[in-house]
Chain A
Amino acid sequence: MLSYLLRKLLLSIPVLFGVTVIVFAIAHAMPGDAVLAMITAEAPSSDELIAMRRGELGLDQPLYIQYLNWIGQILHGNLGRSFVNGRGVGEIIGERLPMTLELMGVALLVAFVIGATLGVVSALRQYKFTDYSLTLAGFVGVSIPDFFMGLLLVYVFALELRWLPSSGISTAGDSFSLLDNLRHLILPAAALALFRAAIFMRYARAGMLEVLNQSYMRTAKAKGLRPSTITLRHGLRNALIPLVTVFGLALPTLFGGSVVIETIFQWPGIGLMFIDSVVNRDSPVIMGYVLITAIIVMLANLATDLAYSVLDPRVSYD
């Protein structure tokens, strides 16, 4: 077990190295650099000024030198500085990551609770009306893009009903209150969660059906145990184990989804920062973002593996 983990960790080093090369290549292949992005028609600039500013940012050095500089910095725990505002990339991401994790975490939790509950209910009512309607709802759920869900939610709950704020993370200028923050969280989290709840539901239903069809369940039934006891005591745990994998798989798509949702809701997390940095050609920030998300995804996959082995004694590692 421990050696498996260690091997996985060791393997992730070359993978991470590859990640840095790709990230660097993309960030530097972008047309237009940070200097050009900062010039606007309103602020005309001379060629000399542009050349000077490029020099300041190190953009005039050969690519491999720029890459080595960047890697060297990373190994010292330094993700570099934003071309746009000169702040440390690690610092910026550190500030914003919690907000994205709050959004993603709540969305994932809600998706899990709703999905697992409905999935189990659906399985227990297999081939009944409830099952059919839930399955159909699940299919529809995965057919609606999350950004569109976001627009509809804003329209209904913020503009028409005026129940919830239309954007932001809290009321600007007010001192932080959890309640206020949660009110702002509901719509973006729901937009992210509904799509994923549908996926969780399918897996939960399938897992539960598998369990229900297993011999020990039939035995329990034969012994005259009441269905609810059976399901809760024996079934649920085994049925939900496959969801752990889905949790791990959901993470990269959640990062992608949060980019779109943060843009729609002006949620000041790393997704919004990423879109801005792409527009501004702020390559240190772009690279930092992709690197951090890749590391988070890797760690999450590792945790998923681990959780799986703890939860499911049938899985063994050589």
Chain B
Amino acid sequence: MTDATAADVTIASGVSRGLWGEAARRFLQHRLATLGLVMLAIIVLACVLAPLIAHYGPNDIDLRGRNQPPGGVHWLGTDGTGRDIFARILYGGRISLTVGFVAVAISAAIGIFVGCVAGYFGGKVDLLLMGLIDMVLTFPRLVIIIAFVAVVGPSIFNTMVVIGLLSWPSIARLTRGEILALRNQEFVLAARSLGTSPSVIIFEHILPNVLSPILVAITLDVATVILLEASLSFLGLGAQAPAASWGNMLRNARTLSILESQPWMWIPPGAMIAMAVLSINFVGDGLRDALDPQHIMGGGAK
């Protein structure tokens, strides 16, 4: 792209389609990534189709049939109020995954926007935004979220929004760096000389060319946020009873007798968290290798 001219810009989309196809091929060659994608697809599908798969509602209690081990009727057993664990895993997955995806969508939107603005305009705007980024980055995220949730009250919606509002700086920083590297490229300068508006230049010309590292970061962030929700729910600050989330189901394991003799109450949510995070990390890793062949980092940084 170093010798790009204004003419190249018009064919940029065609070029990138070819690159994406190449990337998809490389991704599918990555065995773990493919496995991750398949696992993730199964998990997401199962959660989306929960009403069709589960025989019970997630909140249907059956006090006389509580604490039942896995069996033919309740595949994964029942919990302390006789609710079907399998149903709760699927419906809980909806919440845990939604938190992951929505919070990251929020942070990605803010992060990319801030990053683009800072990187493209530079100067004082950049200085100001970088100050903001530094500021948010100095806060331990979980700590601020705990304080925030104490302010707005614990609920899934609040959790998602708060995580989203606090998680954008790393994406913003990444985006800014990428934009900075491109903004004085000839194809950008050319577009600018033609009087194209900054928003068009940023979002139609520059962004598509720097999207791949951002996409990788976003993917890996989803995994982090799922873990974060689990920690919050563990502290009682995430999804509120009776709604299930993997995190608050795992809270059962705090009771020693459940930890010891009723493993069906905590192994499934624990396994689902691990599997979801694992598959997302596999996918992120695969994406990195596919989109950026020179890069041999291990990935998954927090």
Contacts and interface: CB of A to CB of B under 8 A. Distances in A.
Contacts of A139: 278, 281-282, 300
A142 B143 contact: no
Given A142-B277, A278-B147, A297 B235 contact: no
Instruction: Tell me the interface secondary structure of chain A in the complex.
Output: helix
B281 A199 contact: no
Interface string B260-296: 1000000000100111011001100000000000001
B300 A297 contact: no
A142 B299 CA distance: 11
Contacts of A210: 296
Instruction: Tell me the interface secondary structure of chain B in the complex.
Output: helix
Contacts of B250: 145, 148
B143 to A, nearest CB: 5
Interface string A120-151: 00000000000000010011101111111001
B138 A297 contact: yes
A155 interface: yes
A155 B234 CA distance: 17
Interface in A15-47: 15, 18-19, 22, 26-27, 29-31
A293 B298 contact: no
B181 interface: no
B151 A31 contact: yes
Contact of B151 (A29, A203, A256): A29
A222 to B, nearest CB: 22
B138 to A, nearest CB: 4
B231 A145 contact: yes
A207 B270 CA distance: 31
B281 A252 contact: no
A290 interface: yes
Interface stretch (B78-86, B127-135, B205-213): B127-135
Interface stretch (A67-75, A167-175, A257-265): A257-265
Interface residues of B, number: 45
A250 interface: yes
B146 interface: yes
Name, among B234, B277, B281, the residue most crowded by chain A CB atoms within 10 Å (CB to CB).
B234
B147 A286 contact: yes
A294 B301 contact: no
A153 B35 CA distance: 30
A78 B230 CA distance: 36
Q: How large is the interface on A (under 10, 10 to 19, 20 to 34, 35 or more residues)?
A: 35 or more
Interface in B134-162: 134-135, 137-144, 146-148, 150-151, 153
Nearest to B282: A139
A151 B281 CA distance: 24
Contacts of B124: none
B254 A151 contact: yes
Contact of B302 (A155, A249, A278, A286): A249
B301 A246 contact: yes
B277 A253 contact: no
A7 to B, nearest CB: 11
Contacts of B134: 11-12, 15
A58 to B, nearest CB: 20
Given A209-B296, A255-B143, A155 B274 contact: no
A12 B137 CA distance: 12
Contacts of B138: 15, 19, 252, 294, 297-298, 301
Contacts of A146: 231
Contact of A290 (B132, B144, B235, B302): B144
Contacts of A138: 298
A252 B136 CA distance: 11
Contacts of A275: 146, 235
A202 interface: yes
Contact of B278 (A140, A199, A253, A278): A140
Given A30-B150, A203-B301, A255-B143, A145 B281 contact: no
Contacts of A301: 138
Contact of B298 (A31, A202, A250, A256): A202
A255 B140 contact: yes
A96 to B, nearest CB: 15
B141 A145 contact: no
Interface string A178-200: 00000000000000000000010
Name, among A140, A206, A256, the residue most crowded by chain B CB atoms within 10 Å (CB to CB).
A256
B140 A252 contact: yes
B253 interface: yes
Contacts of B273: 143-145
A14 interface: yes
Contacts of A256: 140-143, 231
7 contacts: A26-B151, A142-B300, A143-B223, A143-B273, A144-B270, A256-B142, A274-B143
Interface of B: 131-132, 134-135, 137-144, 146-148, 150-151, 153, 223, 227, 230-231, 234-235, 250, 253-254, 256, 259-260, 270, 273-275, 277-278, 281-282, 296-302
Interface of A: 11-12, 14-15, 18-19, 22, 26-27, 29-31, 135, 138-140, 142-148, 151, 155, 159, 199, 201-203, 205-206, 209-210, 213, 246, 249-250, 252-257, 259-260, 263, 274-275, 278, 286, 289-290, 293-294, 297-298, 301
